[in-house]
Structure 1
């Protein structure tokens, strides 16, 4: 594994936000949701997430998730994904969302 300096880590803008809207993303090549995430001072940002195996829309609404907020936006079909919602592979190629074990303010930075 390649090591990085702490400065490299600080360049990644990890923040937590609350999912406030979820739609099935029918035009995506792989099953996905369109998510709208409230990131506090950064506003509401959109993300496409391939997490349909383990999550329903109802499970996602109100869930806090950790996002990378400083990647360039990415066009996915007819949807512009503005942030990357992070998660972990469960060993079966299904993603478990990265979150906090306690409620924190939307937009809080990861340290």
Structure 2
């Protein structure tokens, strides 16, 4: 696996993409979705947003509740089976192809911007 994307100016990335740390305050099953995902409510300090997140393979609902996540908050809203996903919780695939969510190594205030 090589990194194939073209370089971009660092200031351009920070201008275009806004990522913030938030705390998962509610986790619900989402049987209406085509993929196996959870409905999440994420507290970013000044506001709470909802997200459809494919974290069901590696996480029980109780594992996610109260955990901090890194999310992209300026992608607009996407409708998934009638559910309005307002942010994208970030993650990576593990060796088995299951999603591992990205989070800070220690607790930070909700709403902290990633840079």
Both structures adopt the same fold (TM-score exceeding 0.5): yes
Verify: 1:27 aligned to 2:28, yes or no: no
Verify: 1:12 aligned to 2:10, yes or no: no
* Stretch of structure 1 that moved more, 58-67 or 89-98: 89-98
Between the two proteins, the alignment pairs up a number of residues equal to 110
* Stretch of structure 1 that moved more, 84-93 or 16-25: 84-93
* Stretch of structure 1 that moved more, 6-15 or 32-41: 6-15
CA RMSD of aligned residues (A): 0.8
Name segments (4+ residues, structure 1) moved above 3 Å.
none
* Structure 1 partner of 2:101: 97
* Shift in Å, 1:16: 0.1
* Shift in Å, 1:64: 0.1
SS of equivalent to 1:22: strand
* Shift in Å, 1:25: 0.4
TM-score normalised over the length of structure 1: 0.96
* Structure 1 partner of 2:51: 47
Verify: 1:74 aligned to 2:49, yes or no: no
SS of equivalent to 2:51: strand
* Shift in Å, 1:101: 0.8
The superposition leaves residues 6-54 of structure 1 with CA deviations (integer Å, 9 ceiling, x where unpaired) of 122112101000000000001000111000000112x000000111000
CA distance in 1, matches of 2:29, 2:12: 35
* Shift in Å, 1:72: 1.4
Q: Which structure 1 residue ranges, 5 or more long, are not aligned?
A: none
SS of equivalent to 2:63: helix
Verify: 1:86 aligned to 2:96, yes or no: no
CA distance in 1, matches of 2:10, 2:45: 25
